[in-house]
Structure 1
Amino acid sequence: MAIHDDIPPPYSMVGTHGVFPKASHDERARFNFLANLNKHVAGSLGPGNRLAYEKRALPKFVADHGREPADRFEVRKAMNQDPYHRFWSALKRNNMEMRQQNGRAIVLRQLDDLDARARTASGNYQGLELDPLVAVPPYQRAVDIHCMPGSYHGEERPGDVSAGANYDCGIFVTTGGGMGALSDGGGQALAKWAKETRPHWSPRRILDIGTTVGHSALPLAMAFPQAEVIAIDTAAPVLRYAHARARSLGVNNIRFVQANAESLPQFADGHFDWVQTTMFLHETSGQALPRIIAEGYRVLAPEGLMFHLEQPQYTPEMPLFEQFMRDWDAFNNNEPFWSAMHATDLHDILEEAGFPRAAQFEAKVHAVVDETIFPRSVEGDAEDFGRAAVWHAYGAWKPSGKPSGKPAA
C-alpha cells in the first residue's frame, strides 16, 4: 500500500486496524495458500482456457453447427463440455468457498472479542445511523453473494459484525493483494483520479453507494477532509463494522447510513457534489440499476460528478471468448446480475437519468498500491491476481443549466 505523509496514524499501520480479526499461525498460512492458489488458477492456469477453446471447443462447435458461436452463451455451452475448463472452474469455485469458510471460521472463533472491540472503537456505535425499516432488497436476499454465507446482511446473532469482519479479512485473499494492504486501493484511486482531473475541485458532500465496510469511502474522506462523506448500504452488519473500522483508523468526517439507493428521501435534490460506486452496479438487479442511477442524479448538485468503477461493458468489439471468461462469476461465483449488467449500455441509462451524452465519459482507474510488489495491470491483460487491480470507470458531470455545460477545472 502506498503510505502518504498526510495520512495520520493509526491509518499508516500496514494491513490491520483496531477491529481487524486476529488470525492464528495456521489461519494465516491457510489464507496465504488460498491467495497463492487464486493467483495460480487465474494467472498460470487461466490461459489454458483459451487453448482449450481454440483447439477443442471451437472446432467441435463449428463441426456440429456449421458456424462459429453467435454469442458468449454459446461459447459457454461449448466450453462447459471441455474437461480442462471444467477442472479450472472447479478449482476456482472451490478456492472461493475455502476462502469464505476460512474467513468465517476466523471470525466466529473470536466473535465476542470482535463485537466488543467494535463497540469500543465506535463508542458503542455512536453516530451510526441504522434504520430497521430499510429492508434488504429481494435480489440481495436471494443469493449468498461471492459464496459468502449469509451475504452482507447475515448475522450469527443479532447486532454482530461477523459479515463485515469476514469480508474485510478475506478480500485481500480474493484480490491477491492487488488493492493494497488495507484493500483500499480503489478508494485511493478514486481520490487520485479526482485530484488529477480537477486539481481545484473541492466537493462538499460525497455519497458512496454500496459501501460494505468502507474500503472506498475512507480514502475519499481522508483525501477531502473538508467534505462530509456519507456511506450507505442496506446491510446493517457491514455498516456496524464499517463504522467501527473508520473510527479505529481515526477517520471522523464520514457517516454510515443504512439506506437503499433506489430511494433516498432523506436527502434533498442536489445535496451531493459527488455520487459514486465501486464494483457495485453488477450486484444490483436490472430493475434496480436505472432507479439507483436516476436517484443519484436527483441528489447530485449541478456541476456535480457521478462516477462508477466497474469492469468494462460487453461491446460488439469485445471478443466473445473474453465476454465468456468475464461472465464466469455470473454462473459460478454467485453473481447473478453480472452478465446482464455488463451487457447493458450504461451510457443509455445515464442519459435516461438526465446526463447528456456530451457530459459523459469513460476512464481507466488503477488501484493505488506498491507497484514494486504488484505491477500495474493494463486493461485487456489476462486476469492475474499478482497485479494491481484496474477498473473501467463510467462517469458524468451533471449539467449546470448554463450554456457552458461542464464546470471549469
Structure 2
Amino acid sequence: MDGDVSIAVKTSAPMAGEPMQDYRQVLKHGIMPRTSHDDAERFNFLYHLNRHVRGPVMAACRNAYENRVEPAFEKEKGRKPKNRHEARKAMLTEPMFQFYSSLRRASMEQRQQAGRWVALSQAEELRERAAAYADDDALQLNPALTTPRYVTEVDHHCMPGSYYTEYMEDDVVNGANYDVGFFSSFGGAPTMSGPGEGMVAWLKAYRPDFKPKRILDIGSTVGHNLAPMAMAFPDAEVVAVDVGAPVLRYHLARARSMGINNIRCVQADGADLSMFEDESFDIIQSCLLLHEISYPAMRAIFKETYRLAAPGALVYHADVGGYSDEQSLFEKAMRDWDAFYNNEPFMSTLKDIDVFDFFADAGFKEDEFFHASPLGYGPGKAQMGEGRLPPKLAALPGLNLFGSRK
C-alpha cells in the first residue's frame, strides 16, 4: 500500500459525549451467564463509575498535578520532573490521585467479584452448557501444559485465578466471569469486540482481496476479538490458542452458540507452537496480548510467528502504544496507572520499546512492516500506512496495530 490512508472504523465502545449504555444491551449468546435485575444494575453502576473516574475525576487529577504536585516538586528539586516515573511518584502523596486510584482499583475488584458471583452461582449449569458445544476436533486441551510464570504470578485485571485456574472438572467459570463483566470494564461495549471489529475493518481496507485459508489467534481468551474475524472469513480455518483451559472451553461454546463453526481452540503456550507446521498460516494475530507477557516470551512468540507464517502472510498484533513528545508527563504517568495498580506489570515496559524491533529480530524485513492506529476503543478514523508506527499515532487513545508481511 502506497502512503498513509485513513479508514472509518466502527468501534463498539462509546466515547465521551456519546449516549450512555445499558447492560441489557450486551450481546447475548448461548453460553452467557444469566443475570438478574440486580446483577445488571450492579454492572451498570460499575460502568458509570468507571466513566466518572476516567472523566471528571481524571480531570481533577490533572488540575491537582498542574497546580500542586508539579510546583511542589519544582520547589523541592529546583527542576520539573524529568520523566513519567518521577511524575507518578510525585503524585503518590496527592489526595486527588489517591482518590482516583482507590476508586479505579475498587471498581475493578468489585467488577471481578460481581462477575464471579454470577459465574460461580451457575458453575455447574455453565459447565453442562459448554460441554454440549464441545467436541474433540474443535477443542484440544493439554492438561500437561506448564502455565508460564508471567501468567501464574499475576491475577490479571484483579481476576482471581487469572485465565487458567480451574475450580472443577471441565470448568468454565473464569471464562464466564471475563465475559459477563467485560461491559463494566471497557466502557459499555455491547458486542465487546471493538478491537476485533477494528481489525476486520482495517484488513478489508488494507487487503480487500485477501482470502486467508488459515488464521491463528494467540492469547485468544473467550474470543471477543476473534469472532469478527471468523465471521468475516467463514471459509477459513481459524485456530484460537491460549494457555487457559477454562477460557478455551467457554470460547468454543460462545462461538458455536453464535453460529460460528470454523474456530478450533487449542491449549498451548504461544512461545511453543510446535504442534503446527512451518509456513501454515496466512494470518497470525493477537489482540491485547503483548502487554500481558514478558520480554523473553514476546521474543519467542515473534520467532514462532515467523516460522508459522506462510509466504505472503500477514502477522500483526493490536495493543497499547507508546508515548510521543506531544504528551505531557501527567498524561504519560496516568497511562502507566494499570501497570502499577491494576495487575498489568508489563504494560509500562511495552510502551518503552519499539515492537517492530521484535519483528526484525525474528526475521521479518523492514520494508514489509505496516501499521494502523487507533483500532477499537479509540476515536475517529484509523490511520494506516507502511513502515513502523509513528510516535504521534502510537500515543493516540485506543489500540495500535503493529504488523509485517512475510
TM-score category, normalised to shorter length: 0.7 to 0.9
For 1:16-36, what per-residue CA distance to the aligned partner results, in whole angstroms no more than 9, with x for missing partners? 100101011111111110111
Give the Cα–Cα distance (whole angstroms) in 2 for the partners of residues 203 and 151 of structure 1. Answer: 32
Give the Cα–Cα distance (whole angstroms) in 1 for the partners of residues 169 and 163 of structure 2. Answer: 14
For 1:235-279, what per-residue CA distance to the aligned partner results, in whole angstroms no more than 9, with x for missing partners? 111001101111111111111000111111111221111111111
Give the Cα–Cα distance (whole angstroms) in 1 for the partners of residues 295 and 379 of structure 2. Answer: 35
**Aligned-pair CA distance for 1:376:** 4.7
SS at match of 1:153: coil
Aligned position for 1:39: 51
Aligned position for 1:174: 185
**Aligned-pair CA distance for 1:329:** 0.2
**Aligned-pair CA distance for 1:315:** 4.5
Aligned position for 1:337: 346
Of the three residues 201, 216, 234, the one matched with 1:192 is 201
Give the Cα–Cα distance (whole angstroms) in 1 for the partners of residues 382 and 230 of structure 2. Answer: 27
1:58 aligns with 2:70: yes
Give the Cα–Cα distance (whole angstroms) in 2 for the partners of residues 33 and 14 of structure 1. Answer: 15
Aligned position for 1:402: none
Q: Which amino acid aligns with 1:211?
A: S
Aligned position for 1:407: none
Of the three residues 115, 119, 134, the one matched with 1:107 is 119
> Relative to 1, partners in 2 of residues 1:130 and 1:354: Cα closer, same or farther, differing over 3 Å?
same
Give the Cα–Cα distance (whole angstroms) in 1 for the partners of residues 315 and 78 of structure 2. Answer: 46
Give the Cα–Cα distance (whole angstroms) in 2 for the partners of residues 295 and 317 of structure 1. Answer: 35
Aligned position for 2:172: 161
Give the Cα–Cα distance (whole angstroms) in 2 for the partners of residues 55 and 21 of structure 1. Answer: 47
**Aligned-pair CA distance for 1:122:** 3.0
Of the three residues 207, 217, 220, the one matched with 2:216 is 207
> Relative to 1, partners in 2 of residues 1:378 and 1:353: Cα closer, same or farther, differing over 3 Å?
closer
1:274 aligns with 2:283: yes
Of the three residues 132, 135, 144, the one matched with 2:155 is 144
CA RMSD of aligned residues (A): 2.3
Of the three residues 389, 398, 402, the one matched with 1:390 is 398
Which segments of 5 or more consecutive residues in structure 2 lack a partner in the other structure? 1-9, 13-24, 384-391
For 1:298-343, what per-residue CA distance to the aligned partner results, in whole angstroms no more than 9, with x for missing partners? 1111211111111112355543322211110000000111111221
SS at match of 1:265: coil
Give the Cα–Cα distance (whole angstroms) in 1 for the partners of residues 230 and 327 of structure 2. Answer: 36
Aligned position for 1:295: 304
> Relative to 1, partners in 2 of residues 1:377 and 1:172: Cα closer, same or farther, differing over 3 Å?
farther
Give the Cα–Cα distance (whole angstroms) in 2 for the partners of residues 87 and 183 of structure 1. Answer: 28
Aligned position for 1:261: 270
Aligned position for 2:321: 312
Aligned position for 2:35: 23
SS at match of 2:105: helix
Q: TM-score, normalised by structure 2?
A: 0.87
SS at match of 1:77: helix
Counterpart contact for 2:374–2:381, Cα < 8 Å: no
Aligned position for 1:9: none
Q: Which amino acid aligns with 1:157?
A: M
Q: Which amino acid aligns with 2:345?
A: P
1:82 aligns with 2:102: no
Give the Cα–Cα distance (whole angstroms) in 1 for the partners of residues 154 and 236 of structure 2. Answer: 35
Counterpart contact for 1:366–1:376, Cα < 8 Å: no
Give the Cα–Cα distance (whole angstroms) in 2 for the partners of residues 157 and 129 of structure 1. Answer: 18
Give the Cα–Cα distance (whole angstroms) in 2 for the partners of residues 53 and 81 of structure 1. Answer: 11
1:219 aligns with 2:231: no
Q: Which amino acid aligns with 2:82?
A: A
Which segments of 5 or more consecutive residues in structure 1 lack a partner in the other structure? 4-12, 369-373, 384-388, 399-409
**Aligned-pair CA distance for 1:144:** 0.4
Q: Which amino acid aligns with 2:373?
A: K
Aligned position for 2:252: 243
Q: Which amino acid aligns with 1:393?
A: L
Counterpart contact for 1:46–1:88, Cα < 8 Å: yes
Counterpart contact for 1:35–1:174, Cα < 8 Å: yes
> Relative to 1, partners in 2 of residues 1:149 and 1:277: Cα closer, same or farther, differing over 3 Å?
same
Give the Cα–Cα distance (whole angstroms) in 1 for the partners of residues 264 and 138 of structure 2. Answer: 7
Q: TM-score, normalised by structure 1?
A: 0.87
Aligned position for 1:121: 133
Counterpart contact for 1:19–1:121, Cα < 8 Å: no
**Aligned-pair CA distance for 1:126:** 5.7
Q: Which amino acid aligns with 1:150?
A: G
> Relative to 1, partners in 2 of residues 1:53 and 1:139: Cα closer, same or farther, differing over 3 Å?
same
Give the Cα–Cα distance (whole angstroms) in 1 for the partners of residues 43 and 216 of structure 2. Answer: 33
Q: Which amino acid aligns with 1:112?
A: E
Counterpart contact for 2:134–2:253, Cα < 8 Å: yes
SS at match of 1:269: coil
**Aligned-pair CA distance for 1:356:** 2.2
